[in-house]
Structure 1
């Protein structure tokens, strides 16, 4: 009986551990997600613009220290604060949103430092061109959302790219080729579908 009890205890503990290690999927909250990019304009100043529409999912297994991300940004939602400039950078020389209405970041590797995600590595697609990128995670936190009453995670991440590598190099170097991409993101735990 003691052996049976010990075996049952081991199996039970293994089940608990495997349940704790299961990956969790979080759905991006567009109302609190802020992709933005910064570049130098003619040496006068560093300009920052944003996108208003973002969707996607983040998967995190904090016990196994793995994760992934699939984020889609609507390039047509670019917001410079000036309607005429919004139209200008959606033209063929820049985002060419008539042909390429979305930007996508698909990451299949999440690196941890201790118990906290430190970076995401994957592929960034802009204007039909896909390049490998790594985003450095500068802030990360998961906790129950005080208003939505569900588990949620938030993060800030950053990387730098050359726009000329995405066929968007017009006016470089007067307008800097180097662009810093920043992502402030919040996501809530995905609900399992209801049983039929």
Structure 2
């Protein structure tokens, strides 16, 4: 889920060099799980990923973001165990969720659509996220480094990945929010 930084690069002109980017520690991935009229927020604190971007050939942008399922947390231990269990993420069998970037399409000066593939529980399906730029420019602590930030929103239907625990009381369609901050190396 994360990979959206490439999108900001595609949205704003002026970045002169194609370069690999890395995830900043401020990047977060959360999923809102509907349960009996309320939402339980699941956070994925362990993330990794890289994006290669060439501003002159946005269509050639490539990237991958991985989140560790075994670290998924709600902040409530019994619920965390349930989320990581075989009926939901099956973290023991599938230790990661991977988002592979396929395409970025600019929709306005500060927004884009990000298309890719998510692999969850060994199943790969297409995914689309809407992205909005919130930061783009030199890093405040090091003007030689460039920082790009995006807020991405989308949703996945967990049942299409084989995660059927708790249905119908626990929602199948889950809103995904990614606060993506990336820096040039």
TM normalised by structure 2 equals 0.84
Superposed CA offset, 1:36-86 (max 9, x none): 00121112x122121111110123333433333210011111110112221
Contact 2:110 2:133 in 1 (8 A): no
Q: Paired residue for 1:161?
A: 156
1:1-196 → structure 2 map (5 Å cutoff): 22-29=17-24, 31-43=25-37, 45-66=38-59, 67-116=61-110, 118-149=112-143, 150-190=145-185
Contact 2:33 2:42 in 1 (8 A): no
For residue 131 of structure 2, give the secondary structure of its aligned residue in structure 1: strand
Q: Aligned equivalents of 1:92 and 1:151: distance in 2? A: 41
Contact 2:137 2:148 in 1 (8 A): yes
For residue 70 of structure 2, give the secondary structure of its aligned residue in structure 1: helix
- 1:170 and 1:100, CA in 2 relative to 1: closer, same or farther beyond 3 A? same
Displacement after TM superposition at 1:103 (Å): 0.5
**By percentage of residues, which structure has more helix?**
1
Contact 1:69 1:107 in 2 (8 A): yes
- Equivalences, count: 170
Q: What residue ranges of structure 2 are gaps of 5+ in the alignment?
A: 1-14
Q: CA RMSD in A?
A: 2.0
Q: Between the two structures, name the one with larger relative contact order (CA 8 Å, sep ≥ 6).
A: 2
